[in-house]
Amino acid sequence: MGVGSAAAVIAVTRDPFAISAAGLAGAALAAAVRALAGDAPAALVAAVLAPLLVVASFAEHHLVHVTPLLALAAAAWTIVELARTSTAPLVALLPAIIAAVLEPAAIALVPIAGTRLVTAPWNRPRWAIAVPIAGGLAVMLAVIAGGASDGAFASLGQRWFGTAHSISAPVLARDVGDALGPLAAVAAIAGLALVAKLRLAELAVVCCAIGALLVDLRAGVTGPATLGIAGLCAALAIGRFAATIRLPSIQAVAGSTAAMMLLVPPAWTVILR
């Protein structure tokens, strides 16, 4: 899926860095779906759908750029590491920091990955307890910088979040629905409800979704983080829907049919340009 995602974006850009970043994002999204949904045929269909749907959505909204793709890749790899049992929890922390620096919507990944440092079964160093505390402070900093209107925090918010054009929540809901399309929007909501659990990986997905919407409220436009998380959640919903069928072969057929219904609209929009 990494190779497929990289090949897909060649249709809209010849930037080798953007193509490479799309490959990383595609591989990470597929791995995140498998980590969250398991190994059933329905989960495999969802793992194929997620990167293609996200790449198509990014291409449709002219967002195929290095920074948002790398941020999405880092966030997805963090989710993968949080989903597996690990005796080396530091592996989840590095992509979480990268995602938070590139995309403020992912800032909550840092304290979540820091929590894994404290709770994982490993030879925990004394300084590990400071990581989730520092992550919580980073979240507070993001909230303050995002809401500041003047001073040093406002300057930080301008550089980190971009220019502010705040809109109301109903307007944002309409814009997100228009950006995703009705089928993808419903699937994304269903997928988000499915991952509303107290495990760290699922909590990371929910926190990223909330952060993405808050960033969009400030920016006044649906951003790449929202499209990326929505694509992941929509794929998980399709996988869970197909998994309700007992026959594995029928699972694959049903999941592929539903996946095509989500994938065709944004892909067709890109093709017609």
Q: Is the pLDDT of residue 191 over 90?
A: yes
**Cα atoms in the Cβ-side hemisphere of radius 13 Å centred on 198:** 0
pLDDT digit string, tens, across residues 99-150: 999 999 999 999 999 999 888 888 888 888 999 999 999 999 999 999 888 8
> HEC states along 122-179?
CCCCHHHHHHHHHHHHHHHHHHHHHHCCCHHHHHHHHHHHCCCCCCCHHHHHHHHHHH
* pLDDT for position 130: 93
Across the range 1-11, mean pLDDT stands at 92
Give ∠ CA 257-202-39 in degrees, rounded to 5. Answer: 45
Summarised one tens digit per residue, pLDDT across range 10-34 is 988 999 999 999 999 999 999 999 9
Domain layout of the chain by residue ranges: 2-103+164-271
H-helix segments, the chain: 2-9, 16-37, 41-60, 66-83, 90-102, 109-119, 130-147, 151-161, 169-180, 182-194, 200-219, 224-243, 248-271
Mean pLDDT of 198-222: 93
Per residue in 229-255, pLDDT (tens digit) is 999 999 999 998 888 888 888 888 888
CA pair distance 271, 143, nearest whole angstrom: 39
Please work out, in degrees rounded to the nearest 5, the angle formed at the alpha carbon of residue 194 by the alpha carbons of 43 and 146: 115
Report the chain's mean pLDDT, rounded to a whole number.
91
Q: Which residues contact 152 (CB under 8 A, 6 or more apart)?
A: none
| 55 in Cβ contact with 269 (< 8 Å) | no
Measured from the Cβ of residue 173, the count of other Cβ atoms closer than 10 Å reads 12
Tokens 């045929």 -> residue: 41
183 vs 228: CA distance, rounded Å: 16
CA distance 265 to 149: 39
Residue-level pLDDT at 226: 96
Q: Give this prediction's pTM.
A: 0.91
∠ at Cα 9 (6, 10), nearest 5°? Answer: 90
